Chains A and B, each alone.
Chain A
């Protein structure tokens, strides 16, 4: 670790051996070796970072990762909630990730399938992500191992979007302003952004380094200082209104993108001798597909079903009482299904799925 260059004052930055930098400090969280094992703060309260404990790209044997995926009770509760609700098609997570930037890559390949398993999901995802990208105002990091947002798609089968509710905005000083033409994007990380903003606006949130005497390091110089707890990640109070307005816009657009199932009056053809051909057109007038392929893959979502109930006087000559539309009906598209019914009377078609909604049609033949 090194204490930053003059520009960054008291911020601790990691020495990079590739750039020939040698560290001058060891950075530890404030504390003592309470159990006398030679290590400071090695066993604090808690221990699982819920956002590292999901099954997607889970990394075993990591500090804070949990002894196995889904060791965190919070995550279990969340999963049980989602799996009991097949009507949830889309999940949004406020986090430090932003996956509107690049859309989603479908990485998994099944044992028996080659190529892209979920091409429909992928296309719908990326189209919506690029559409909504301007509304996801705050930049974020890519998903980490075991993230909730990654799990919600790959292992819980829902469209999963993630963006920060807020991050510290860039602070432009005069020298940077001058360099703007040469350097379009700053490579500041979250910590540097936070530090620069706090020093300028709320300096009390970053404590100066002060020398203290530490019982475990009697012969070394020990200083205490840095970010006040929570200050690094949380917005100042007066910005909450604009933050929630931004979030509302984004969430409302996501809500408007849900599928909208419409089944207009079917086409009925009289084939003579009380035989009728009924053709249903099932439209999705929304943006997202009626379900995800990955949602079928994990058995979390249901495809659109047509339940056909003929009257007692009728029989179904072609078609079943239950018809599966196995592929998702994508936004703006339609599928048709044909039944041949023998006999006069009223036949009821119930069309839909939990994630697409239901339509019921009474057809008098």
Chain B
């Protein structure tokens, strides 16, 4: 009887809600209350977990999404891309597009969650938030949430530090002994984390912090120490006298792209040639097939930065009006991302070669940002004075010691008794559980702001004037109602994509051209094929006026066909016809 009552009490209320379809929660603003796909945004997903979420989203929102594999990783995992737009308002390729990818460095793990959250949020709020609906009606999102799936699972399931693996899984001979990856990390205490090793020593130059004995601090010059500190847990597997010198491939997938690639001795990790890696090659193939992409975001960690190119000081990257535009958008982003800094890579950092987003810009005419996720500012809402102390304080009072592996004695083949301990791989570069959702949301908000600035074209102010001899003069304005032009200057200058077309059909075209300004009576005539006017671009928040002389009355169809600005059309008729 007791059992029955318990069963009744527990199950009945739930089934009641399930039947009525009402959630048992009050909607918190800014998020879906009753999402079709439940995801906990306070933990990390492995490759299979991400694949499940993408499939569930794609099944739940068939009018808004499509899921495709754009290629295989080295180990044969599918590289997933989810396309999100309102498919009923137009084909994805006929709209301006925003591209998001994440975690090209697998250890930069939360990047995947931010990209995945974006896909989830867009789909789940289409019917709930008008902004999302308007955006998806006119813009396409291509999201590749996991660029390095092989190493993602290695990061999850094999012993690593917070900094590994940055590389993919193609075996490479790092040290030149003809063997591949023969001396990687060794997890001496079998906890899944590669931490530090310390050895008690009368002559060591390290000691423990008097306030927190977990922290190792360097001795002052006149102090006698008590420990030697060895940075990473491991042994000399191959007998060359060096520990951990040949682990997962040394290459860096973010130095393997097509513009200003430099060999390894100039740019560490460049690998053999541009796009020598299956993952970068697959993504480049995808980008080539989707020239409608005009804005992009590549998520990395760490340090809380909105990072922009150019990544070197080269002449063909310096287009002032492109830079002004990217500055405007990037600095606006700082308001959404407290604690983040806006950084020009080569000026404020150091030059790098063969970067992905440099290639987005120089190779595909895409305005791209790199957000370096997670900043220690988020710990106590101020920039920390002492990074190590802040981390341990945060761990002690907010994570209750969960981010730290306590020092533990183990036997080492070379050093004898050593102690192993330190910060876990899942902390330091990644947010803790309760800050992960915030990081996802704020960074997504930045990309949605940028995506909403993609061109929005419309055909307006059409005029049909009858002239002598059965001729008509037709004039229309093509208006771009958003900040971004239909093409960046780099694209215009190097002819990366073809010109925009403004076409008329429905009559024989005698002449046609673009008016220099709306105050001019005449247009400058295009000699070849005036029925298809070619213009370099349509600027942001401005318009161009097209004009034709045609013979034949009736209705005319005006089509604007811009690779990156979208395709629209409008039928126009003289006022007295129906």
Contact = CB atoms under 8 A, between A and B. Distances in A.
B528 A38 contact: yes
A79 B264 contact: no
A92 B360 CA distance: 35
B176 A296 contact: yes
Given A38-B527, A67-B258, A299-B173, A60 B316 contact: yes
Interface in B271-286: 272-276, 284
Contact of B239 (A60, A296, A301, A320): A320
Given A67-B363, A79-B272, 10 more contacts: A36-B529, A60-B259, A67-B288, A69-B274, A70-B258, A76-B273, A76-B276, A296-B176, A297-B264, A299-B174
A68 interface: yes
Nearest to A71: B258
Contact of B172 (A55, A61, A110, A299): A299
A64 interface: no
A110 B266 contact: yes
Given A38-B528, A69-B258, A320-B239, A79 B265 contact: no
B339 interface: no
Of A70, A71, A301, A305, most B-chain CB atoms within 10 Å: A70
A294 B266 CA distance: 11
B503 interface: no
Interface of A: 36-38, 55, 58, 60-61, 67-71, 75-76, 79-80, 83, 86, 108, 110-111, 117, 154-155, 294, 296-303, 305, 320-324, 354
A70 B284 CA distance: 12
A282 to B, nearest CB: 16
Nearest to B271: A299
Nearest to A316: B239
Of B261, B265, B276, B351, most A-chain CB atoms within 10 Å: B265
For chain B, what secondary structure do more than half of its interface residues adopt (helix, strand, loop), or is it mixed?
loop
Contacts of B241: 320
B176 A55 contact: no
A69 B284 CA distance: 13
A80 B288 CA distance: 23
B362 interface: yes
Contacts of B176: 296, 299, 301-303, 324
Contacts of B174: 299
B263 A55 contact: yes
17 contacts: A38-B527, A60-B494, A61-B495, A68-B284, A70-B273, A79-B276, A108-B266, A294-B265, A297-B264, A297-B265, A303-B176, A320-B240, A321-B238, A321-B239, A321-B240, A322-B238, A324-B177
B470 interface: no
Interface residues of B, number: 37
Of A80, A110, A301, most B-chain CB atoms within 10 Å: A110
Nearest to A323: B240
Interface in B138-180: 172-178
A36 B527 CA distance: 11
Nearest to B264: A298
A75 B261 CA distance: 15
Interface in B339-382: 350-351, 359, 362-363
A120 to B, nearest CB: 14
Contacts of B316: 60-61
A36 B528 contact: yes
Contacts of B264: 297-299
Nearest to A305: B177
A111 B266 contact: yes
Contact of A302 (B177, B350, B527): B177
A70 B275 contact: yes
A108 B272 CA distance: 17
A200 B316 CA distance: 47
A86 B363 CA distance: 32
Interface string B232-269: 00000011110000000010000000110101111000
B363 A68 contact: yes
B491 to A, nearest CB: 11
Contacts of B265: 108, 110, 117, 294, 297-298
Contact of A68 (B178, B274, B276, B351): B274
Contacts of B261: 55, 58, 69
8 nearest CB pairs, A to B: A68-B258, A297-B265, A321-B239, A322-B240, A61-B494, A70-B273, A38-B528, A320-B241
Interface string B129-145: 00000000000000000
A55 B274 contact: yes
A297 B177 CA distance: 14
B352 to A, nearest CB: 10
A82 to B, nearest CB: 9
A326 to B, nearest CB: 8
B227 to A, nearest CB: 26
Nearest to A68: B258
Contacts of B494: 60-61
Contacts of A110: 265-266
B528 A37 contact: yes
Contacts of A68: 258-259, 274-275, 284, 359, 363
A70 B259 CA distance: 11
A340 B284 CA distance: 54
